[in-house]
Amino acid sequence: MGSKQKKIKKPNQKIITSPEKKARGKSKIEVKNKISWCFSRMDVGEEARWSVKKVDLNYFWESMFEKIKNYESQTIAELNMLQHNRNMPITGLCREAQNRLIELKQDDIDEIYHIEFDGMKRLWGIFDGSIFRIVWWDPDHEICPSRRR
C-alpha cells in the first residue's frame, strides 16, 4: 500500500509589481492619471461673456453631466482621441478671450483646451497635469470660431 503525502499549504503571497509593469495593457502612469475636474478657476463674473454660470441647468443635467462624469474614467490621451477635443494655442483665440485671460490672471499659459458638446457648444479649460481647470462655457463656438475654407 502506498502512503499518502500530505499537502503543505503555502501562505498567500502578495504580488508586487514594479512601476515598469503594465496593468491591463496600459502603463501604470496612464492608469493612475485619470482626468479630474477643478472648479476654482471658472469665469463666473456677471459681465463675463462666457461665464460658466450661463450654462442652462436643464442642458447641464440632461446632456453634459453624464459626459463629464464618463471622462473621469479616461486619461488625457484617451480624451484626445475624440475627434473634436483638443488643445488650442492662446494666439488662436479671439481677441476678447485673450483679453479676458489677462483679466483672470490666466495668461501665463500657451494653450487652452476645449471639450465639445453637441456640435457648437464648448467647455474651455486648462490642463494642470490630469486636472482640467474649467474656465469658460462657450455655447456658440465664439472663443475660437472655425475658419472655413
Condensed to tens digits (0 to 9), the pLDDT of residues 111-129 reads 999 999 888 899 999 999 8
Determine the average pLDDT of the residues in 54-63.
92
φ and ψ at residue 63, rounded to 5 degrees: -120, -40
Using an 8 Å Cβ cutoff, are 138 and 94 in contact? no
* Cα(137)–Cα(147) distance, integer angstroms: 20
Q: What is the pTM of this model?
A: 0.74
Enumerate residues 6+ apart whose C-beta is below 8 A from 74.
34, 35
* pLDDT for 68 beyond 70: yes
pLDDT at 148: 57
pLDDT at 3: 57
Residue extents of the structural domains in the chain: 29-138
Nearest C-alpha neighbor of 115 from the set 128, 103, 127, 100? 127
26 HSE (CA, 13 A, CB side): 11
